[in-house]
Chain A
């Protein structure tokens, strides 16, 4: 990515070519930082595929699901992307969207606060000859401070990211922090550009059935249920008691996402239901207005459940959403 697309010069460039625009290093991964570092050394010497396939660590072996599944990004066909588009993969993680989009667009910028995962993306891009990928280390999204100039992206992807915004800063209203982050996303989008969000539904059916809150699993192996369903101040009382920290990983209902995106300057919202889940390797995707949605969500449930939910079948129970929204012109 050219220098004039950034607001200020980078603080440095890593050996692998990651552009560093962050002064607040942050680390988040399913792998510990030490394991990650030795894995990256293997990636450099063996190549990324071999480093995964020959690893004796099951967590690294499982990475294939995240790194080599372009079908995870098939939902982006709902956007207007072409060989002239520039896309920002915000919170790019292992880069499954980045590499899936790379053959379809002019340029993909993988941005994350986590330097190590960006190193992986930069190494893989070099090894696979993907010349249109840039890896950029940014401040955690809680700061709502992207280093890019205004209006340069045709699309911004945030897959499994929004719900974590607010958890890096330990104070301030997470809802407000998420809203500010989305406003910042809107700033870097071209007028008419689109955001593609993948996120859990706060009122997903599985939460009613006792499934633990996905985002608290990282703080407690046991898992805590029902936190998404209760008012957030009650959720906070629960997590303070059980985890010793307030509840800050906010997910949203369909109406909540509408409000949040609307306040951040997005319009023309399109909601999709990924079946079984937005994190799946290749979900089936239904527009949320489609009648199949309620039938699909309840099809695996017992008859009593269908009877009880019949009067409120328009209520959206799906476990997660994809959302496409347009930056207002």
Chain B
């Protein structure tokens, strides 16, 4: 496919909007993150002209796979709609620009502009991990608030309507798992009844707002990529939730890889909770959402996450399994959610420690897991 694409690029460089004819085209294939199932996967290439990055090419791994094609179509449609929604906005410089939407040899190809910078996960400095992770948080938050305010609230709807919408999405995708959602919501039924009619503003939602999709350069957000899950009428606060959840999973995974059970404990039970609380309070107040609503929103976030990970376009089964475990643990707020998600990393260290017959380390992990289970007892 690449030789054909290369010919196209050489013939149509002016039409595509390149400033000069490419002389030395190079195609660098990115590693697959292996989050979604391979057959629905999209593969990406960075195209360079010598040293200069020209664009990103995205194409389905299996050309006739409907879901993979659907992912590209959604990304194309969402990027088009964003460029119409934000005419003249400086934010557009941080969102990929559409360059090519063609088929080569019946294979769909999406070409988008290259955004400079490195993703936020690259900015984690092991020398001062707390500082780098607070810095990342503030970068993410300021961009998200700015983006949502600039696109503006599209609608204001009763909270009950949002709950029903997400609930329906979950029920459609996981009809045999609906009891999980029911059990969770029954625990916050009084709050739900109280706030059901409260009008909530709906903001734009990226849908997959995690550290590896956010690029930074010289202390500023330089780009946000992967817009296939974008929704104009998002679930309030979902992007913040998704960032926090995936960010801490990544951080805890980093500690688990190093068997650093002390750092894992410190971050999961103390540091993260302080940062998450400050961040989420600040965000929710800016978005005009009272703190009392968060208790109802957290179950919604988990359901929405499961819907996005489990839908046929992604088939991210490992992520869905983890979300189901979190649904069972019924976290009451984002701080608890972060604390509970450390369970998976303790589990990983426990498995390694058991295999290496490190009884002491295995015991520490078992205790930590029990602590989490105790906290959720009776819910």
Contacts and interface: CB of A to CB of B under 8 A. Distances in A.
Interface of A: 68-71, 74-75, 77-83, 100, 103-104, 275, 281-287, 289-292
A284 B31 contact: yes
Given A71-B61, A79-B2, A80-B105, 4 more contacts: A82-B105, A284-B28, A284-B29, A285-B29
Of A78, A282, A289, most buried by chain B (CB within 10 Å of CB) is A282
Contacts of A69: 38
A282 B31 contact: yes
Contact of A71 (B2, B3, B38): B38
B26 A83 contact: no
Interface of B: 1-4, 24, 26-32, 34, 38-39, 41, 43, 45, 48, 51, 59, 61-65, 105-107
A290 B28 contact: yes
A70 B30 CA distance: 14
Q: Chain A CB within 10 Å — which of B29, B59, B62, B65 has the most?
A: B29
Contacts of A82: 1, 105-107
B41 A104 contact: no
Given A285-B29, A289-B26, A70 B61 contact: yes
B62 A104 contact: yes
Nearest to A71: B32
A80 B26 contact: no
Contact of B2 (A68, A77, A83, A281): A77
B65 A291 contact: no
B43 A74 contact: yes
6 contacts: A68-B38, A71-B34, A77-B1, A80-B105, A82-B105, A103-B39
A80 B7 CA distance: 12
B61 A74 contact: yes
Nearest to A75: B29
B51 A77 contact: no
Contacts of B105: 80-83
B26 A74 contact: no
A69 B51 CA distance: 32
Nearest 8 CB-CB pairings of A with B: A282-B32, A82-B105, A285-B29, A103-B62, A70-B38, A71-B32, A284-B31, A80-B3
Contacts of B51: 291
A291 B39 CA distance: 32
Contacts of B2: 77-80
A275 B30 CA distance: 10
Nearest to A282: B32
B63 A104 contact: yes
Contact of A74 (B4, B32, B39): B32
